Structures are given as structure tokens and as C-alpha cells.
Amino acid sequence: MGEPGASAMRPGRAFVVLLSALVAFQAISTDLYLPSLPAITADLGTDIEAVQLTLSLFLLGFAFGQLFWGALSDRFGRRPVLLAGLGAYLLSTLACALAPSIGLLILFRLLQGASACAAVVLGRAVVRDLWAPQEAARVLSYLASAMALAPMAGPILGGWLTERWGWRANFYALALFGVLVLAASARLLAETNRLRDPDALQPRRLLGGCRIILESPVFRAHALAAAFVYSGIFTFISGSSYVLIELAGLGPRFYGLAFATAAFGYMLGGFAGGRLNRRLAIRGLLLGGSTITVAAAGLGFLLALRVPPGFVAIVLPVFLFMFGAGLVLPAAMAGAIGPFPERAGAASALLGFIQLVVAAAVGVVVAALYDGTARPMTGILALAALATLAASFIAARPREAPP
């Protein structure tokens, strides 16, 4: 039985919803189980540093995996590679739910990250396959909304599941999400890669493209700005459950609401960046947004030094930081990928790799420095903001674009 043509599925709302679900895999796989981190620590009889590795190694798996899923799909096609990646995600997620020890949970989270990135990378590749640039902008706006909504809804649902059925329920919910997306992909997604590249997996070709991109000072400066500001976001992701649940006394459900409030700041920043893009351009968004992150993170650190952790003292500065990050991150990504129209896929994958590796390392530091106060989390957030501002100044300097 033949598959439907790509043109037939382009206008369908269900297909756009499917693409939104695909690009939300990283956010939902991380944010849904955040309220359960203290419960995992207690149930598996481990410490914060070990549980933190379930976050950091997920990101490492995601970072390394995305370098290969795109090349595999260039060689063998989007549909079979995506279905294989979703199947691997489902198996690794069920393994997380059944993990009897923290060591196995860490291993299965690594595998979950390495498979989850297939959905994100190939979802974006399908958009490039099907839509012309002007139409793609409209579709990508749906995808951006999905990325903003997942961090808002995920912790609220995760907190409710944790309180009602325990931390393993979060992974069963993720497995159900994987089943639904796998079934929808099998039904709705025809092969969209009409120009398969038989040499896409050659090491020399892969490494040569990466070298050309990394030699560009434009790419390096924008990639560092993106990596540092995302590290600030991940600092809150990795440290907030302990600070808000254990120190501030919020239950898992109220933690979800606090996290959603902070994530709403990013959504507002992204919306403001879209409205201000023509007026400020990438340079103005980088400098303005990074300045806001420094002011917000500095306020959060000062409050952590002077007052006990609480909803307002933690969430208000992070809300403002997220607003600034919503200005910086899209602009930095566009600035990094923009000079490489013929290597946009490789530049996007390399940018994501750098961003996630730096964030994973920062997450390990956050856990290692945790001392029963909010100072380590807010202090690292402030350092990430300062690094973002420095990289933004470098990125904003006028220079010639690469050929």
C-alpha cells in the first residue's frame, strides 16, 4: 500500500500538531519529571549528585545523538529513521520507569536522550523538506509555541502524577506520549526526503562540514551566547526542584506552578523578540536580552544572600531572567545558523551539540555545589548571565560573514 504524497499532507492541522509534538520531546522528557527528583533521591536511597546525572546524561545523550540522526535520515530517509528513533525512545522510557537502582536509571536516561533527539532533529528536517521559506516561518511559529508550552504544562502534570502515584508514573506518562507520537507518525508521515545522499555518512564529509562551521568566528560567538544562556535556563531546571520543594516547602504540584510561571517569562521574551526583531535586529536582541539576564540573575543572587528561599525570592528573578533569555536564545541561534544556508542542518546540529554539552556540565556543577541553600543555583545563574553578556558583545561586533 503506497504512502500518501508529501504535498497531500502539508495543509493538514493534524500533521502540524505532529511536528509540534516531535520538537517538544526534549522539553517534555526533561520537565515532566522535575517535580519527582526529591522523591527519586529518597526512594532509590541516593544523593542529589547522582540524581542530577539523570538530567545531565540525558542532555549528553541528546547532544551526541543529534549529530547522527540527521545524517542517517539524509542517507536512508526521514520516515524509517524517525520511526526507529521513536521506538528506541519508547523502550528506553519504559526501562526508566522500571529501573531498580539509580545506576540503571542514569543509563536508561542516557539512552532516552540519545533517542529523543531523533524526534526533534527530524521534525525540523521535515519542515525544511516540505515548506518554502516563507511558509516554513508560519509552521515554525507553531513549533516555537510547542517548545514554550511544554515547560509550562510538564511540571504541573508531573507534580500531580508524583503526588498521586509516585515518580515512576512520570515515565509511564512519557511512554504513553511516545506511543501516541509513534502511532501518529506511522499514520501521517510519508517520506519527505526526495534527494537521499548516499555519501551522507562518510566520516570525512561529516567532519569536513563541522570544521568549516567551527572555523567561523560568527558561528562561535553566537553559539557561545546560545550555550551560556541555555546553561542559565538549565541551572534553574536542574536546581529548582530541590530549592523550591525542599527549602521553600512547596509541594510537587505547587512546584509545577512555580516552574510554569518562570517558563512563561521565556514565552513573553520570545514574543517580544518577534515583535522587536525588525527594529533591533539580532545585535540589539542579543545585547538587550543579555543585559536583562545579568540584572535579573544579580537580583536573584542578592536575594539568596539576604532572605530565605521562597516563591517570590526565587521565581521573580528567574521569570525576568527567562524573559531576557527569550530575547537572546532565538537571536543567537539565528545568528549562528544564518551564515550557512547550504549547511543549515549541520550548523543546527553542531549548535545544539555545543549548547547541550555546556548545559550538561553546568548541571553537574550545580548538583556538586548544592549546600542546602539557594546560593549555588542563583550564583551559577549569575555567572551564566555574565558569560552570555560577554559572548553577546563579541557576537555583536561588525565582521564579514563567511562565504
Burial of residue 129, with CB atoms counted within 10 A of its CB: 0-12 exposed, 13-18 middle, 19 or more buried: middle
What share of the chain has pLDDT > 90, as a percent?
Answer: 35
35, 160 Cβ separation under 8 angstroms: no
Alpha carbons 202 and 205: distance in angstroms, whole number: 5
Confidence at residue 316, expressed as pLDDT on a 0 to 100 scale: 94
Max mean pLDDT range (53-67, 244-258, 271-285): 53-67
pLDDT greater at residue 197 or residue 362: 362
Q: How many beta carbons lie within 10 A of that of residue 105, not counting itself?
A: 26
Burial code (b: 16+ CB inside 10 Å, e: under 16) for 277-308 equals: beebebbbbbbbbbbbbbebbbbbbebbeeee
Answer yes or no: do 139 and 233 share one domain.
no
Alpha carbons 310 and 320: distance in angstroms, whole number: 16
403 in a domain, yes or no? no
3 in a domain, yes or no? no
> Would you say residue 81 has pLDDT above 70?
yes
Answer yes or no: do 160 and 38 share one domain.
yes
pLDDT greater at residue 309 or residue 299: 299
User: 90-148, pLDDT tens digit by residue?
Assistant: 999 999 999 999 999 999 999 999 999 999 888 877 776 776 544 554 455 456 656 66
User: 246-260, pLDDT tens digit by residue?
Assistant: 888 888 778 888 888
4 in a domain, yes or no? no
Answer yes or no: do 231 and 364 share one domain.
yes
2 in a domain, yes or no? no
pTM exceeds 0.75, yes or no? yes
Answer yes or no: do 247 and 160 share one domain.
no
How many distinct structural domains can be found in the chain?
2
Task: Assign 296 a pLDDT band (cuts: 50, 70, 90).
Answer: very high
Alpha carbons 399 and 161: distance in angstroms, whole number: 51
Residue at which a domain ends, from 165, 193, 221: 193
Confidence at residue 314, expressed as pLDDT on a 0 to 100 scale: 92
Answer yes or no: do 42 and 96 share one domain.
yes
Alpha carbons 76 and 131: distance in angstroms, whole number: 21
> Would you say residue 52 has pLDDT above 80?
yes
> Would you say residue 86 has pLDDT above 90?
yes
Stretch 8-26: mean pLDDT: 74
Answer yes or no: do 274 and 364 share one domain.
yes
Confidence at residue 59, expressed as pLDDT on a 0 to 100 scale: 86
Q: State the chain's mean pLDDT as an integer.
A: 84
Answer yes or no: do 141 and 213 share one domain.
no
Confidence at residue 169, expressed as pLDDT on a 0 to 100 scale: 95
Task: Assign 5 a pLDDT band (cuts: 50, 70, 90).
Answer: very low
402 in a domain, yes or no? no
Answer yes or no: do 84 and 132 share one domain.
yes
pLDDT greater at residue 21 or residue 180: 180
Full domain range(s) for residue 242: 202-397
Answer yes or no: do 96 and 218 share one domain.
no
User: 158-187, pLDDT tens digit by residue?
Assistant: 888 998 999 999 999 999 999 999 999 999
Residue at which a domain ends, from 193, 223, 246: 193
Confidence at residue 37, expressed as pLDDT on a 0 to 100 scale: 87
Confidence at residue 372, expressed as pLDDT on a 0 to 100 scale: 83
Answer yes or no: do 163 and 281 share one domain.
no
Confidence at residue 146, expressed as pLDDT on a 0 to 100 scale: 62
State the CATH number of the domain containing residue 59.
1.20.1250.20
Answer yes or no: do 148 and 222 share one domain.
no
Distance of CA 109 to the CA centre of its chain: 15
Sign of the four-CA dihedral 194, 198, 199, 202 = positive
User: 368-390, pLDDT tens digit by residue?
Assistant: 888 888 899 999 999 999 999 99
> Would you say residue 4 has pLDDT above 50?
no
Sign of the four-CA dihedral 252, 254, 258, 264 = positive
Alpha helices in 24-101 (DSSP H): 25-31, 37-43, 48-76, 78-98
> Would you say residue 17 has pLDDT above 70?
yes
Residue at which a domain ends, from 145, 160, 193: 193
